[in-house]
Structure 1
């Protein structure tokens, strides 16, 4: 190890090993009408913690599991459908493992997330096709400290070297999603111009619920301070002083809804191609109703020498109105092919895009 790197490499995690497994299978179920495909994979990554100070040698193992299945069907010549399923999970036994976060304070992380999708395409006549889609996501994950969670866990504390012990703050969230879409294309001619008119509408709903709390009977943590810190504030030290941090649980809920509509046309006129379109987005979000219970120790006022302290329960009825964002995004593009062989193209375009809320 180079001498100039020794001071920081001892505080850096290293990769122990990486292993990949996987396989897939597919084929016809009903000749010329129904096909299936399935695949799965597993990726294992083992990280070894830094050698300084409290987490020396601990392993932070990550497992990525993926399963996918797809069914394609075309029962009628003018209609085809697709069903898709996906399962993804990230399992990690020591997320946030570090010199100041030993194994008992690192997180056990897990999901999983499941995705379901159904899509159907119908051809109408010779110049129109429509595609409808429905999808659902069962998403979310949890971060649970290895040292224990809930009321029966030991109270977390932070020593004078800023190293955490016993356990740590948890985090649990669910993030489901539902989406609907209808898209279509219409082909037609006007004089010498060829047109491909595209249009579509979409709706998506993504409510989110999250919870975070400090384990143990006090719903907080203890911090030990050095003698110099204590004496500078006139606090007796033997040989250190102690701070108690009491907190409420965090419960946050919010909802997001998206609507969009677009229309566009591709026009072919000899050597010139014109693409023009307009998209409209309507996005809205708001905080929904939530509540947090009182701290079990100071939920009711506790009298101190210089006053009283309390952390009573809180209740929020939700926002009375949405945060709403409506946008129009025009797009236009020109392509001109030079000469009869059309080997050289000139292009110009203008596009406007809008970011999504959340």
Structure 2
């Protein structure tokens, strides 16, 4: 059983003067009544704000006196209610954050339309119509938080949300990590810009690949539960809301710099006994950014540009250059962001963005303290960018149409250091990668394990149509993604030499060269319908999603290498070919009818997120290896063919050693959340929530050529000296080297998470923000369908 407790809080007080905020699916909704409490149909409700390029948006209340204005940008609004025979009511200073539905209800009295009643008060902080649990970090908060100014370090400030690596103020943010919550996996994360997918096609599709320009975004929205049918992922969904410019010229800039003089050392004597001779330490960090937003034509064309250059350089632990100076993990990331917003007609809007995002890392892998500088790789990105275009139309006050295209392209190399001798497949091999297994453990020297290049684009089309009345809103849409990944691999001698206390021990044999191994995401389709129906105090949010996931591997070939023959492989279709339904249902109840207390419940099925990773796993040409023994017979410290032992993977490079079961089901999760949110006093709310996550159709791997009965059980004394024995299973030697693995759906393996949190959120005058809470949860796994019986020990965490 694994238990986790996280506690996060922040208090911020800042003044903000930045370019105008940008798009997000926010709304203002409520009801209009007369002084007797009777509903008022036909009231014109107008929301106006300088953040809207069209200045205002208007709807009319329905027969139940209800209204909803959707597709609003984050910002401060004035909401005006007019009806002949009644005095006009104006509600000022309604602050709207991203992906939030603000409840604004009014009571109108009989009078002349020219008579205006102005109402002021704190902005709503309880969303009584949606079931999502989400956290919003606005620009004023982003600017004062001591983080690495990226989505993963920002996420670590939120209760119940954590990143996949340890970080202090961006110290490890030069390499990306995942963001997880409430028992989710790293592969469940989804990243959006302006509500559109902007992730790569790498592996599960959860990796953003590029490093985004924090200064180009107005708000970050972290959705952690209660996702609608529009969302594919059951993990953390991060929506970055871009800046767009405005009707006035506005700009801002950031300049941050520090070095190791402000850092102390805290290496203990115990750490030194474990081999920490040179601790990690900051060399320098710098972050320079400038942004400018301005109108090309007022109320018609806005432009926004931002440039950011940043890097966090650490002195690497236990690493020095040949001249004796300390080795540095040196980094440089750049971002060049441009966005145009065009109001084509009063009812049609178009936005476009291009974001070029190069990266350089001079000594990747040196940060672990186990790699000599010469054995690191130089990371470069010949081409890396995000681009996006989006059209929005409101042909009537009840219809919203949206269509968009987004693309991410990422091409990166991990090449040998310049002082590594030229690669060769025959003697002499050049500088060979050397790995010490024991003293010091896992220390890599002389050369990196391989020379490497990957490139992978991701293309996305999305369209939707919404019909909105005051009490009812339905949205239907389609999302279509495709892409591919290509791999290039080579290595000096096609091997890594391994040592045990300095003596030759074994060799990792690679199936190189790989000139180009391609795996395709043919299509990932999501077709959805999401309803929202308000019946008095109750809002129901049923949704249904249909998903198609199809991948393949094209016909491929590669020349012979040192350990593999020339290879040709036929195309492999349907890797996978899944079609699944994913229903969702949620309900929110306005307990007191005043928009200040909401009870929320949601349950939904979320299919496992996937991109090129499934096809890549079964691609026969992708990177593969085998470990064999090595006896250095001529003592020349070069592993020659006659010095290597028998193969443990007899079919390396010859065929696919792992295949999917034809009946393999797509894994999925069932998510439940139940909570209550209450406004304690104006601007401040408290909420309590419970969560449950169940994993179904989990995949397990079995080796068809090595059944479990060929293992022999041996009981050995428990090394803890308690008099008990521990079962150990030995493989029959005649089965060594046989690999024919099959991935299949386990009928028994499962994982369940249960968690709880209590949260406090508040907004005050002058930009003060309060956010904090506590989250407690535990995961229990039963993983007793195994390939190797040695994995049966502790496989059932319920015992």
Deviation of 1:354 after TM superposition, in Å, equals 1.5
Q: Give yes or no for the alignment of 1:203 onto 2:470.
A: no
Q: Give yes or no for the alignment of 1:273 onto 2:543.
A: no
The 3 A distance-change label for structure 1 pair 169 and 123 is same
* RMSD over equivalenced CA pairs, Å: 2.8
**Which residues in structure 2 correspond to 1:164-243 (within 5 Å)?**
164-188=445-469, 194-215=471-492, 218-220=493-495
Larger strand percent: 1
For 2:580, which of 323, 327, 332 is the aligned residue? Answer: 327
Separation of aligned partners in 2, 1:36 and 1:145: 42
Question: Which sections of structure 1, spanning at least 5 residues, go unmatched?
Answer: 231-241, 299-309
User: Residue 132 of structure 1 corresponds to which residue in structure 2?
Assistant: 403
- 1:154, 1:167 within 8 Å by CA — same for their partners in 2? no
| SS of equivalent residue, structure 1 residue 4 | helix
Separation of aligned partners in 2, 1:288 and 1:23: 45
Under a length normalisation based on structure 1, what TM-score does the superposition of the two structures give? 0.82
Separation of aligned partners in 2, 1:342 and 1:226: 69
The 3 A distance-change label for structure 1 pair 342 and 126 is closer
**Which residues in structure 2 correspond to 1:98-113 (within 5 Å)?**
100-111=370-381, 112-113=383-384
The 3 A distance-change label for structure 1 pair 69 and 145 is same
The 3 A distance-change label for structure 1 pair 72 and 150 is farther
User: Residue 116 of structure 2 corresponds to which residue in structure 1?
Assistant: none
- 2:420, 2:431 within 8 Å by CA — same for their partners in 1? no
The 3 A distance-change label for structure 1 pair 277 and 52 is closer
Residues 17-67 of structure 1 show CA distances to partners (whole Å, capped at 9, x for unaligned) of 111111101110011100000111111222212335777612220112112
Q: Give yes or no for the alignment of 1:90 onto 2:359.
A: yes
Separation of aligned partners in 2, 1:243 and 1:187: 65
For 2:281, which of 14, 34, 48 is the aligned residue? Answer: 14
- 2:537, 2:591 within 8 Å by CA — same for their partners in 1? yes
User: Residue 431 of structure 2 corresponds to which residue in structure 1?
Assistant: 155
User: Residue 564 of structure 2 corresponds to which residue in structure 1?
Assistant: 311
Residues 321-350 of structure 1 show CA distances to partners (whole Å, capped at 9, x for unaligned) of 331222211111222223453533232222
For 1:282, which of 541, 548, 557 is the aligned residue? Answer: 548
User: Residue 27 of structure 1 corresponds to which residue in structure 2?
Assistant: 294
The 3 A distance-change label for structure 1 pair 355 and 223 is closer
Separation of aligned partners in 2, 1:52 and 1:188: 65
The 3 A distance-change label for structure 1 pair 227 and 185 is closer
- 1:54, 1:100 within 8 Å by CA — same for their partners in 2? no
How many residue pairs were aligned? Answer: 328
| SS of equivalent residue, structure 2 residue 564 | coil
Q: Give yes or no for the alignment of 1:63 onto 2:332.
A: yes
Separation of aligned partners in 2, 1:121 and 1:149: 56
Q: Give yes or no for the alignment of 1:248 onto 2:515.
A: no
- 2:530, 2:542 within 8 Å by CA — same for their partners in 1? yes
The 3 A distance-change label for structure 1 pair 219 and 267 is same
| SS of equivalent residue, structure 1 residue 322 | coil
Separation of aligned partners in 2, 1:213 and 1:68: 35
Q: Which deviates more from structure 2 when the two are superposed, residues 260-269 or residues 335-344?
A: 335-344
Q: Give yes or no for the alignment of 1:122 onto 2:399.
A: no
Deviation of 1:164 after TM superposition, in Å, equals 2.1
Under a length normalisation based on structure 2, what TM-score does the superposition of the two structures give? 0.38
Separation of aligned partners in 2, 1:340 and 1:99: 59
Q: Which deviates more from structure 2 when the two are superposed, residues 138-147 or residues 50-59?
A: 50-59
- 2:306, 2:336 within 8 Å by CA — same for their partners in 1? yes
Separation of aligned partners in 2, 1:149 and 1:28: 55
Residues 301-336 of structure 1 show CA distances to partners (whole Å, capped at 9, x for unaligned) of xxxxxxxxx631111122143312222111112222
- 2:291, 2:306 within 8 Å by CA — same for their partners in 1? yes
Q: Give yes or no for the alignment of 1:37 onto 2:304.
A: yes
Separation of aligned partners in 1, 2:534 and 2:498: 71
Structure of greater relative contact order (alpha carbons < 8 Å, 6+ residues apart): 2
| SS of equivalent residue, structure 2 residue 512 | coil
- 1:154, 1:166 within 8 Å by CA — same for their partners in 2? no
